[in-house]
Structure 1
Amino acid sequence: MTERDGARELLRRVLDEGTWTSWDVPPAPPPEGGGEGAAGAAYARELAAARERSGCDEAVLTGEGLLRGRRVAFVVSEFRFLAGSIGLATADRIVSAVERATAERLPLLAAPSSGGTRMQEGTAAFVQMARITAAVMAHRAAGLPYLVHLRHPTTGGVFASWGSLGHVTSAEPGALIGFLGPRVYEGMYGEPFPPGVQVAENLAAQGLVDAVVGVDDLPAVAADALDVLCGERLAGRAPGSASGSAPGSASDEPEAVAPDALPSAWDSIVRSRAAERPGVRELLRYGASRVTPLSGTGEGEAEPGLLLALARFGAVPCVLVGQDRRGQRAGHPLGPAGLRVARRGMRLAAELRLPLVTVVDTPGAVLSAEAEEGGLAGEIARCLADLVTSPAPTLCLLLGEGAGGAALALLPADRVLAARHAWLSPLPPEGASVIVHRTPDRAAEMAAAQGVRSADLLRDGVADALVDERPDAAREPEAFCRRAAAAVERALAALPGPDRAARTGRFRPRV
């Protein structure tokens, strides 16, 4: 593997030219004494050699600079200084920088590259990871963004503490990232660590890292994420002008629809299942900006059937959790892992005080022994609980199919929009027909009887407004997605704040 950038080179390539300001003060001298882990003459010589070799006085540089014009705090490791290891002075520097970023309400970007704890300082250094973690979590608790860019290599206690706590986590291409360094593993167990596991690309595939990003792409990726995470609403934008599109026809008031213009329930169901129908990916492509996809739960689970992203709809930033019809139709029906990805998005919105947009478009949750054993029912319940109690403003868009508990899991919201041919049902109508009539052949009859179509949802107060299809989203995908995005922006802009009573009050039967 080629030599990677040092700390100063990384800052030069990421920050706006000439904007770096160091926060560092000379480090305290290493601990002295005769106990285990105490620094001696040999350690002092190692520190002097590390300073000479790296040009840095410690294993991290901290400070601030401008990233695409935004003031951002940085903690960046220097691997050439004793393998980026964390000693007492290193920890003091990191904690001081994190606390200053919190006090000055700055977003924080960490770029670790480290072998972990500094062995020369032993347990006293080891426990500093808890101190650093506490400072990072206080920063997050203040509603401030924390971004992590994992560099080659990042292992040990650094990866197991402040390297794994980002709201958004990227990694350097090909970087070695893992808990136990492969050299240590081989030395302890007498065999090499399995290849291809502790590699950035594999961690991204497993839902542990959001994206693999080269250093030249890092400024744009980080800037887009911060443009959403920092939560500012853009000035000078008229609601309904999402991504530069013209305002759509969807209104914040329910549309008046002539009875003879209403599609039948079965007509809507058939249209919603068309392969050409746009889904959440097209909604983001045509109707949103500053889109930053996030991968998986961050805890080792990925789910192709559920899309999590940061995005802007016009002037309004949000966290989006959307059921991806493409992923589900390609053999990845929504399972427990997908709902855990959704709950990650709910936590992110709540922590950073961002609006949450959920997009319902699912033929139903996966039916399998693995899903049952993986806690599918419990994850649906926890999604519902997280949504109805969320401190974030919430909006749901019923985009297409809405079958069963997987759809219900993302439904409760302060405001609910529905596409003309969207629908919501306790089961796919074929399943409901089997239960009632012992045959799937009366599905159309069951759909009509159950009140599943968008017009019924609007009448019953489950939905607040319709997004028109002219006559079918599959025949006008771009125009429909722009119309839907404009409706989302208008609805988000009109939300005064969380309305927990509205989230479940809308489900009370109307007399």
Structure 2
Amino acid sequence: MVSTARGLINAFLDTDSFESWDQPAVQVADPEYQEQLRRAAERAGTDEAVLTGRGSVHGRPVVVLVSEFAFLAGSIGRVAAERITAAIRRATAERLPVVASTASGGTRMQEGAPAFVEMISISSALMAHKAAGLPYLVHLRHPTTGGVFASWGSLGHVTVAEPGALTGFLGPKVFEALNGRPFPEGVQTAENLAAHGVIDGVVATADLPVLLDRALAVLVDPPVAPRLPRRTGSIDPGDAWASVLRTRRPERAGVRDLLRYGAAGTVRLTEPDASVLVALTRLDGQPCVVVGQDRSQSKPMGPAALRQARRGMNLAESLGLPLVTVIDTPGAELSPAAEEGGLAGEIAQCIATLATLTVPTLAILLGQGTGGGALALLPAKTVIAPEHAWLAPLPPEGASQIVHHDLDHADALARKQHITALDLHLSRTIHQLIPENDNDTAADLAIAVVAEAAVQLHRGTR
């Protein structure tokens, strides 16, 4: 584990690429505080708690903000804050991505309120940077707490933490001193925050160069022309119930197959077992954000999953990247907990957000499209689907229960409700159909779908 600021800079930047942007720290009037600063500099080998400057990651220029915890616990005073703000503003002016690596106890107590309010200046500069469509990537080191975590540590487009890092708003020692009891163990760990969707993942420092390379490849590198062969052929009207059964086969392609066989450089922004997957990736060379329902997971798609979906939508808008949604769900979670968590409202918010994005949007109706959970990811500018995909307000069995008070009419209702991809294409709900073959493997279908998606994205972003 790399702990020093200079060591971290050497770990993820290209060799000898770092150029410091820092001005020498100014003297302070208080002799006692000045002596503390002198000793801190001697101990840390830096003149402040943060280093800023320009470097490169696999040849791509970036601006870096790196905390030095050995300097007064990485605390941010006015000088450090002004360095950070100046570096962010310069990065915005030069249209460069910003990479931050934090390790801090928060605001510097020796300076009090004047330092505390500087977190607003840093946050304002970052929001202007993001509003300009420029990436901001955050790496949280052990520990990151207080005002740093509550400002520039929590505003990243992508935010990861090193394994075991203490990350939280209130330092556990402060909590114990104020309340007379210890803070519960395990709450403020990187792993727990990742499991609750507060951060995007846990990444060892040794793996940081790979993560940054992949993320910047999506965020910075230009698109390339699609190369996968598109599938041609006729669409079989087929049988609606047969299509329903076909899409429920375990071996049918899902969103993870699309990424496995048709994407490159994927940066996953949700936990491995999430029911809604969010990722930065390239589909056949086209950079995009993917928000996809994963029917293979045992977790039902509840309010939290839909909030993750909406976060992915907003991420695409913030970065100016195309958004690809993948619909493949037996339905949203049906439970008291889902109702209390605002499931219906989350569906409505997803629909409203997706329908009003200004970036190119593409929805892939990949297989099952059941209920409000499917509708939440549908209102894209372009919708494509393989020929056996379908969309219905309820699964056919549920519709049978409502209409006939039994499950025996599911097949008949599937045929009557115009749920097939071909029916949806005729009504212009779906804009492009992709032929399927009887002998398709998951890889075959995934490649066919990604090929069509890449062409549509290429058209939409030219």
Please report the TM-score for the alignment, with normalisation by the length of structure 1.
0.88
1:289 to 264, 270, 279: 264
Query: Where does 1:305-454 land on structure 2 (aligned, <5 Å)?
Result: 305-327=275-297, 330=298, 332-454=299-421
Partner of 2:244: 269
1:18 corresponds to which residue?
16
Measure the CA separation in 2 of the matches of 1:457 and 1:64. Answer: 51
CA distance in 2, matches of 1:379, 1:188: 37
What is the alpha-carbon distance in structure 2 between the residues aligned to residue 467 and residue 28 of structure 1? Answer: 65
- C-alpha distance in 2, partners of 1:434/1:478? 36
1:29 counterpart letter in structure 2: Q
Deviations 1:102-134 (A, max 9, x none): 100000000010010111111111111111111
Q: CA deviation at 1:382?
A: 1.1
Question: What is the Cα-based RMSD across aligned positions, in Å?
Answer: 1.5
Q: Tell me how far apart the structure 2 counterparts of residues 128 and 303 of structure 1 sit (CA, whole Å).
A: 39
1:249 to 211, 226, 231: 231
Please say if residues 271 and 472 of structure 1, whose CA atoms lie closer than 8 Å, have aligned partners that are also in contact. no
**Residue 74 (structure 1) aligned to one of 64, 74, 88:** 64
CA contact (8 A) 1:133 1:161 kept: yes
Deviation at 1:433, TM superposition (A): 1.3
Task: Tell me the SS of whatever aligns to 2:278.
Answer: strand
- d(CA) in 1 for partners of 2:375 and 2:327? 8
Counterpart secondary structure, 1:410: coil
* Structure 1 counterpart of 2:445: 480
Structure 2 residue identity aligned to 1:163: G
Give how far 1:28 is off.
2.6
SS of structure 1 residue aligned to 2:206: coil
**Number of equivalenced pairs:** 462
Are the equivalent residues in 2 in contact too, given 1:303–1:338 (CA < 8 A)? no
Contact 2:264–2:285 (CA under 8 A) maintained in structure 1: no
- Using the alignment, how far apart are the partners of 2:359 and 2:273 within structure 1? 24
Poorly superposed stretches of 4+, deviation over 3 Å: none
With the length of structure 2 as denominator, give the TM-score of the two structures.
Answer: 0.97
Following superposition, the deviation at residue 289 of structure 1 comes to 0.6
**Residues 1:227 and 1:91: Cα distance change in structure 2 (over 3 Å):** same
Once the 2 structures are TM-superposed, how far is the Cα of residue 435 of structure 1 from its aligned partner?
Answer: 1.6
After TM superposition, give the deviation of residue 191 of structure 1 in Å. 2.0
Give the secondary structure class of the aligned counterpart of 2:63.
strand
Find the partner of 1:142 among 129, 132, 150.
132
Give the whole-Å Cα distance in 2 for the aligned partners of 1:494 and 1:88.
Answer: 48
Secondary structure class of the residue paired with 1:26: coil
Q: Which residue of 1 aligns with 2:428?
A: 461
Deviation at 1:61, TM superposition (A): 0.3
1:98 aligns with 2:80: no
**Structure 2: distance between partners of 1:389 and 1:230:** 25
Using the alignment, how far apart are the partners of 1:289 and 1:98 within structure 2?
Answer: 30
1:470 aligned residue (420, 437, 448): 437
Distance in 2 between residues matched to 1:128 and 1:361, nearest whole Å: 46
SS, match of residue 414 in structure 2:
helix
Conserved? CA contact 1:231–1:354, under 8 Å: no
Query: What are structure 2's unaligned runs of at least 5 residues?
Result: none
* Per-residue deviation, residues 445-490 of structure 1 (Å, max 9, x unmatched): 10110111111111221111222221164xx111111111111101
Partner of 1:501: none
**Number of the residue aligned with 1:299:** none
Take 1:382 and 1:274, find their aligned partners in 2: how far apart are those partners? 31
Q: Distance in 1 between matches of 2:344 and 2:184?
A: 35
Q: 1:396 to 1:72 in 2, by over 3 A?
A: same
Q: 1:37-68: CA deviations, max 9, x gaps?
A: xxx22111100001111111111000011101
* Maintained 8 Å contact 2:2/2:205: no
* C-alpha distance in structure 1 between counterparts of 2:452 and 2:165, whole Å: 42
Residue type of the alignment partner of 2:239: S
- CA distance in structure 1 between the aligned counterparts of 2:10 and 2:188, rounded to whole angstroms: 28
